[in-house]
Amino acid sequence: MSKTIIKFGAEWCGPCKAIKPQMDKFKELIQKSDTIFVDVDVDSLETMDMTTKYKVRSIPYIVFLKDEIVEKTLSGMKTADELYKTFKEIYEN
């Protein structure tokens, strides 16, 4: 099973800056899980297709994929504990 987490954000976004320490803590919690993390800047022309594909309407926006299928999306500020809970619901059940 492949596990990918995509975080959409932008440098000018206050909540995107605020979620960074929470994402770092979350990554530490699951560091041995073979999960791929992708950070996407919504202002980059190269990522416009991804932003459209995953229907990003607000940032920060986090997409949890299992075997390349969207299992869940979260938007707005989240804590490491909230992210970990979502991770366990998706990948450990």
pTM over 0.85: yes
- pLDDT, position 31: 86
pLDDT of residue 9: 97
Cβ-proximal residues to 60 (8 Å cutoff; 6+ apart), any chain: 7, 8, 9, 13, 15, 16, 19, 75, 76, 77, 78
Containing structural domain, residue 21: 3-91
1 contacts 91 by C-beta, under 8 angstroms: yes
Choosing from 13, 29, 70, 90, the catalytic residue is 13
Pick from 69, 77, 74, 1: nearest CA to 33: 1
Catalytic residue among 3, 6, 9, 16: 16
To the query of whether residue 13 is one of the catalytic residues in this protein, the response is: yes
Q: Which CATH number fits the domain that encloses residue 36?
A: 3.40.30.10
pLDDT of residue 92: 87
Based on the residue annotation, tell me whether 44 is a catalytic residue of this protein: no
pLDDT tens, residue by residue, 6-60: 999 999 999 999 999 999 999 999 988 899 999 999 999 888 899 999 999 999 9
pLDDT digit string, tens, across residues 53-84: 999 999 999 999 999 999 999 999 999 999 99
Q: Count of domains in the chain? A: 1
